[in-house]
Every structure is written in structure tokens, then in C-alpha cells.
Structure 1
Amino acid sequence: MAKPNVISKEDLIRHAKQSLTEKGIEKFTLRGVAEAAGVTQGTVYYHFRTKEQLLLEMVQDISVSSLRDISEPNEFILEQAIASAKSRCTYDSPFHKLFFSLVASSFTNPHIRDQLGEIIAIENQALTDNLPYLWAKSPIEGVSSEGWGILLNAVVDGLAIQTLLQKDFPVDTVYQELEHLIKGLHALPNNQGGSR
């Protein structure tokens, strides 16, 4: 295989995100990425053998950057994590359009399904690992930290779906209420929770 033009994989991912944002998922092609990056289509194929591989690497790149907001060692700032999730929660969110398009394609592509499953597992684990910075113990008896991590990640993904489908979805209000809910759980007696 010929050597690629002098462009990094990271730069191609950046150009691919820009192309996806401008053209949408329906018109997104490797040729379009090559044109946006000013390289040959062969260069793109050198780094990414398929469109699906490029899309997955774009999701991974965005996930890694968003995980930084909840994965700082010895520190977890709830407001920062909420703001990060909220910032990607828009009616035209390129990240969520890409993510949910990949979810749909994963039903017929086991490779994409496995990789998306790994990304979600990493997000769940990052949330689980950071919950002790919020709660000394689970605020509700019988709900583990792992359960909370999975549930909180599912809530954020569910809000993203609703935002993509409802142009007037009240993002600001719902995220304020989510933050209030999480802080309210923290305020339960002795941070142990119980039936309420």
C-alpha cells in the first residue's frame, strides 16, 4: 500500500467531524473527508479501511474528550460533568446523530456493535469510578455504584435522543433538574438513602 500523504489520523478525524457537521450523515463519504482534508481518497483509506471504521474512531475520539470531564484523578466536579453532557445535547448534535446512526447500523454489523458496547462500558465505568466523590455510599440502599453509573449514563443518552427528536425540548430545565436530583440524593440522611 502506498504511503499516506503527510497528515495524521487525528487531523483526518477532525476534518471528518467537520464534514459530517456540514453535510450530515446521509451525505458523509470518505471522498468528502479527503476533499475537506486536501488529501487523496487513498490517504483516507490508508488510515481508515471503511466508512464505518472512521465513524467509530470519530465516536471514540469524542468519547475520550468527554470522558476527560469526568475522569480527572482525585476530583469529580458534578457541574462540569453535567455541563459537558448538556453541551452535546442539542437538536442538531453531530455527536449524537453519529452515535445513534452507528447504533442503528450495529444491529446488522457485529463489529460496530462490539466497539460501541466497549465505549458505553468505558463511560459507565468512568461514572461508577467517580461516584464516591459525590456519595460516600449509595444514597439508595440496594442500588450499587455500578448500577448508578449505568443509570446515569442511560439518562444522559435518553435525554440526547429526546433532544434530537424534539426541536423545543427543554434542555436547560431538564439538566438543571438532573443536577438537582443528583444533589438531592447526596443530601439524603447520612448519604445512605433508604425508602423515601
Structure 2
Amino acid sequence: MAKPNMITKGDLIAFAKACLADQGIERFTLRAVADRAGVTQGTVYYHFRTKEQLLLDMVKDICERSWDELSGSRDNVVKHALDTAKSRCSGESFYHTLFFTLMVAGLNHEKVREQIGDLLQKENKALADNLTRIWSRPPVKGIPLETWGVLLNAIVDGLALQALMIKDFPVDRMYEALELLFGSLSHMTDQEEVT
């Protein structure tokens, strides 16, 4: 395969995000990304063998940027994490539409499934690591911090799914409740462990 021109993989991901945001997932193709970037389709194929691989790399890029930002946050990590998740929770969520589309594709495509699974495990670990920054010990005896990371990730993804599917889903109310829940749990770690 010929070497691509001077465009980077990161540049193509940025063009792909813009293309997806403008055209939607239904009309998203590698050709559309190439046209948007002003390169040949072969250049896109050089970096991404399939449309699914480009979509996965887009999701990974969004996640990595989010985790980097969260890891740099020093004050109220849970509030910052919930605010970030809430900002992507809507009926038109670019990120979650992309993420759930890939999850569905992964049901029938083992390689996509493995990569989405790896991404979920990284998210779970990142959440657990951030929770260790604010909780000296788990707030409920018998539930380790790693499990809290998985639970928080599942709650956020579940809320996003409902926001995509239910018109007028009460995102603000749900995130206020979630913030109260984690605030209460944080106070528990300052007191005796709950048995």
C-alpha cells in the first residue's frame, strides 16, 4: 500500500468527527472522510482498514481526552466526571450514538466486541482510579472500589442510552440525583464503614 500524504491519523480522526457530526452515522463513509480531509480514499485506508476501525479510534480518542482532562482535575473529581458525562447525555449525543452503534456492531463482529470490551475495561479502571483519589476506602463494606468504577460506568451509559431513546428524558434531574448519591457515599467514607 502506498504511503499516505502528510496527513496524520489524528488529523483524519478530527475530520471524521466533523464529518460524522455533519452527516450523521447513516451517511458516514470512509469516502466522505477522505473528501472532507481533501485526501484520497487510499490515504484513509492506509490509517484505518475499515469504517468500524475508524469509528473505534474516534471513540477511543474522545475517551482518552476525557480521561486526561479528568485525571488533571484536582477539585471535586466526582462532580467534574458527572458534569462531563452529563454534557454528553442528550437525545442527539454524538459520542453515545457512535458508542452504542459500535456496541451493536460488536454483537456480530468479534474484533469490534474485543475492542469495545477493552475500552470499557479501561473506563472502569479509570473511574476506579479516580474514586481512590477521593475515597480512602470503599463507602460500603464488601464492595471494592473496582466494582464502584464498573457501577458508575454502567449508570452513566444507561442514562445516556435512555436519553437517546426517550424524548424529554430528565437528564438534569437524573444527574442531580447521581451527584447526591455519590456525595452521600463520599460522606460515608469520612465516617464509619457501612456494614
After TM superposition, is the score higher than 0.5? yes
Q: Can you list the C-alpha shifts for 1:35-88, whole angstroms capped at 9, x where unaligned?
A: 111111111111111111111101110110111233238776222111111111
Structure 1 gaps, min length 5: none
By percentage of residues, which structure has more helix? Answer: 2
Aligned to 1:46: 46
Q: For residues 20-99 of structure 1, what are the structure 2 equivalents within 5 Å?
A: 20-72=20-72, 77-99=77-99
Q: What SS does the aligned partner of 2:60 have?
A: helix
TM-score of the aligned structures, taking structure 2 as reference length: 0.94
Give the alignment's Cα RMSD to 1 decimal: 1.6
1:57 corresponds to which letter in structure 2?
D
Structure 2 gaps, min length 5: none
2:93 corresponds to which letter in structure 1?
S
Q: For residues 46-195 of structure 1, what are the structure 2 equivalents within 5 Å?
A: 46-72=46-72, 77-188=77-188, 190-194=190-194
- Following TM superposition, by how much is the alpha carbon of 1:187 offset from its aligned partner in structure 2, in angstroms? 1.7
**8 Å Cα contact 2:34/2:44 also seen in 1:** yes
Q: Can you list the C-alpha shifts for 1:73-128, whole angstroms capped at 9, x where unaligned?
A: 87762221111111111111111011000000001111011111111101100111
- 4+ residue runs of structure 1 moved beyond 4 angstroms? 73-76
Identity %: 50
- Aligned equivalents of 2:2 and 2:189: distance in 1? 65
**8 Å Cα contact 2:89/2:171 also seen in 1:** yes
- Following TM superposition, by how much is the alpha carbon of 1:157 offset from its aligned partner in structure 2, in angstroms? 0.4
- Aligned equivalents of 1:12 and 1:63: distance in 2? 17
**8 Å Cα contact 1:69/1:80 also seen in 2:** no
Q: Can you list the C-alpha shifts for 1:117-172, whole angstroms capped at 9, x where unaligned?
A: 11110110011112122222111111110110100010000011001111311111
